[in-house]
């Protein structure tokens, strides 16, 4: 199946007389005929359902759909993108370990990596996207367990150099974890370009309608966990009566471990109803993504011509710093544009407050056009130094183009620019 078809049909195939639409299984628990059967379910927890803290049929249908869209061997949904990022790291890093991350990433991820993981004894070593391979190799320590980056960075909109970073990760014996939120599997399939684990904030394009927060981790099944660096995936898990994830689950070792250890213990699993809503968003993802890209290209070109704008960042624009990488890895540059408005913070805020159709809100990648001022909102907690590293300036506006008629979007922009 192609993406448009997978969006509609993957993950749930009703049999004779069963519901056409994936049912909402609103139950915390599952019934068995005997104690012995319940006991056997604990021996093979991926075979049957036990408890909705870590598995539920509605959520699993969505997990399978996303795994198929990404081309992975398995997926696990989480209650937020933040939870997906956290678990993707905790699944392979313990206190005393480190991992490498590109500097241009989402502000919430910077907080998680720089402060909260540090408190747990896990060090994040930041590297610049333009750092030489030699420099990056030097940043690796014995305890370094992963490399992390974003396909299209939020909000810097730089495109990940998959070839470079997957090669560096693999030469150092660690997986490349990629946050594919802005691209979605419709615009980029990171596993085809060397990524090993993908995460998403499904809150954005996947849901698309701003109705529920969620996340997902997808496992490519391609990484060799037996290279000596990841004993927890190979050696018996004492907390699961001596199971070896690699031995028992083969290619799905990472994602099964994430569910059986981390989801069991942390319980940040979405409710069936949330997964049902996410599925509705996913059904139209492929066709929506095409239209976001088309609208955003028109808006980016319009901004480019305005004398009120210092610069426009959109990887789909010819001449953009990331245009070549976008051509190489993306089928489209998504609906998100970054602007730098002349006159800095003051004029950026004037422009945003004058918009009528586009809403001023803490969101991005929605079906409706929306704007955000990263320096004073999402990235407020960052120091000036961190802001520069994340590619953010005072005049920066993150403009998320929605699916309204393109002429209405542009007329709104026109009148707001006139207000500056
Ligand atoms: C929003 C976002 C996150 C965090 O996701 P939540 O669902 O808000 O927790 C992570 N990464 C990127 C790129 C995002 O845009």
Average pLDDT (321-342) is: 97
Instruction: For residue 269, report the distance from its CA to the centre of ligand 1, in Å.
Output: 16
Ligand 1 pocket mutation pick from 79, 82, 159, 334 by most atoms within 8 angstroms of CB: 82
For the CA of 364, the nearest atom of ligand 1: 15
Q: Read off the pLDDT band of 390 (50, 70, 90).
A: confident
Given a cut of 90, whether residue 240 has pLDDT beyond it is no
Instruction: For residue 361, report the distance from its CA to the centre of ligand 1, in Å.
Output: 15
Instruction: For residue 80, report the distance from its CA to the centre of ligand 1, in Å.
Output: 7
Judge contact between 165 and 133, C-beta under 8 A. no
Sheet of 215-219, strand order: 74-78, 215-219, 197-201, 176-179, 144-150, 98-102, 123-127
pLDDT at 385: 80
Ligand 1 pocket mutation pick from 204, 372, 378, 400 by most atoms within 8 angstroms of CB: 204
For the CA of 105, the nearest atom of ligand 1: 13
Given a cut of 90, whether residue 75 has pLDDT beyond it is yes
pLDDT at 241: 85
Query: Quick check: bond before 155 cis, omega within 30?
Result: yes
Ligand 1 pocket mutation pick from 181, 199, 206 by most atoms within 8 angstroms of CB: 181
Distance of CA 393 to the CA centre of its chain: 23
Close Cβ partners of 185 (under 8 Å, ≥ 6 residues apart): 3, 66, 69, 70, 71
CATH 3.90.1150.10 in the chain: give the residue spans.
286-417
CA atoms of 14 and 371, how far apart (whole Å): 40
pLDDT at 113: 98
Instruction: For residue 48, report the distance from its CA to the centre of ligand 1, in Å.
Output: 31
Which of the residue ranges 72-76, 352-356, 359-363 would you say has the lowest mean pLDDT? 359-363
pTM for this predicted structure: 0.97
Q: What element of type H or E holds 359?
A: strand 359-360
Q: Read off the pLDDT band of 378 (50, 70, 90).
A: confident
CATH class of 286-417: alpha beta
pLDDT at 42: 82
User: Which residues line ligand 1 at a C-beta cut-off of 6 Å?
Assistant: 80-82, 106, 108-109, 150, 154, 179, 181, 201, 203-204, 213, 215
Which of the residue ranges 46-55, 198-207, 354-363 would you say has the lowest mean pLDDT? 46-55
Given a cut of 80, whether residue 382 has pLDDT beyond it is no
Instruction: For residue 106, report the distance from its CA to the centre of ligand 1, in Å.
Output: 7
Ligand 1 pocket mutation pick from 148, 154, 370 by most atoms within 8 angstroms of CB: 154
Given a cut of 90, whether residue 381 has pLDDT beyond it is no
Instruction: For residue 200, report the distance from its CA to the centre of ligand 1, in Å.
Output: 7
pLDDT tens-digit map of 255-300 = 999 999 999 999 999 999 999 999 999 999 999 999 999 999 999 9
pLDDT at 254: 98
Residue 276 is encoded by which pair of tokens?
A: 């049902």
Q: What proportion of the chain, given as a percentage, has pLDDT over 90?
A: 90
Q: Residue 151 half-sphere exposure, CB side, CA atoms within 13 Å?
A: 34
Given a cut of 90, whether residue 41 has pLDDT beyond it is no
For the CA of 365, the nearest atom of ligand 1: 15
Average pLDDT (83-110) is: 97
What CATH number matches the domain at 3-280, 3.40.50.970, 3.40.640.10, 3.90.79.10, 3.40.50.620? Answer: 3.40.640.10
Instruction: For residue 286, report the distance from its CA to the centre of ligand 1, in Å.
Output: 20
pLDDT mean across residues, the chain: 96
Instruction: For residue 94, report the distance from its CA to the centre of ligand 1, in Å.
Output: 23
pLDDT tens-digit map of 125-160 = 999 999 999 999 999 999 999 999 999 999 889 999
- How many of the other CB atoms lie within 10 Å of CB of 353? 12
Residue 156 is encoded by which pair of tokens?
A: 């810097």
pLDDT at 217: 99
Given a cut of 90, whether residue 412 has pLDDT beyond it is yes
Average pLDDT (344-349) is: 92
């Amino acid at each position: 199946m192609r993406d448009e078809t997978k969006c509609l049909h993957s993950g749930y195939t009703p049999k004779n007389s069963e519901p056409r639409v994936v049912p909402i299984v609103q139950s915390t628990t599952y019934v068995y005929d005997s104690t012995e059967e319940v006991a056997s379910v604990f021996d093979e927890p991926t075979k049957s359902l036990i408890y909705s803290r870590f598995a539920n049929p509605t959520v699993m249908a969505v997990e399978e759909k996303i795994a198929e869209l990404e081309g992975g061997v398995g997926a696990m949904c989480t209650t937020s993108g933040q939870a997906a990022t956290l678990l993707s790291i905790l699944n392979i890093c313990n206190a005393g370990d480190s991992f490498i991350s590109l500097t241009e990433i989402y502000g919430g991820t910077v907080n998680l990596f720089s402060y909260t993981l540090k408190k747990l004894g896990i060090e994040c070593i930041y590297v610049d996207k333009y750092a030489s391979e030699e420099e990056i190799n030097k940043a690796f320590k014995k305890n370094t367990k992963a490399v992390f980056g974003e396909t299209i960075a939020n909000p810097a909109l730089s495109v990940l150099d998959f070839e470079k970073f997957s090669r560096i990760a693999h030469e150092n014996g660690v997986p490349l974890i990629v946050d594919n939120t802005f691209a979605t599997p419709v615009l980029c399939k990171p596993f085809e370009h060397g990524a090993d684990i993908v995460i998403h904030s499904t809150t954005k394009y996947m849901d698309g309608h701003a109705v529920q927060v969620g996340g997902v981790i997808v496992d490519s099944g391609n990484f060799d966990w037996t290279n000596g660096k990841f004993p927890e995936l190979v050696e018996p898990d004492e907390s699961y009566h001596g199971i070896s994830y690699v031995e028992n689950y083969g290619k799905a070792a990472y994602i099964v471990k994430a569910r059986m250890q981390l989801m069991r213990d942390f319980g940040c699993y979405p409710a069936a109803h949330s997964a049902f809503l996410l599925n509705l968003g996913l059904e139209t993802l492929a066709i929506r993504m095409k239209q976001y890209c088309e609208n955003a290209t028109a808006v980016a070109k319009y901004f480019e011509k305005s004398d009120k704008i210092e610069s426009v960042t959109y990887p789909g624009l010819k001449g953009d710093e990331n245009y070549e990488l976008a051509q190489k890895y993306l089928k489209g540059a998504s609906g998100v544009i970054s602007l730098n408005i002349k006159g800095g913070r003051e004029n950026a805020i004037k422009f945003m407050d004058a918009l009528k159709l586009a809403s001023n809100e803490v969101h991005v990648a929605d079906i409706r056009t929306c704007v955000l001022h990263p320096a004073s909102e999402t990235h407020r907690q960052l120091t000036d130094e961190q802001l520069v590293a994340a590619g953010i300036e005072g005049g920066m506006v993150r403009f998320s183009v929605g699916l309204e008629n393109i002429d209405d979007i542009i007329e709104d922009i026109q009148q707001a620019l006139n207000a500056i």
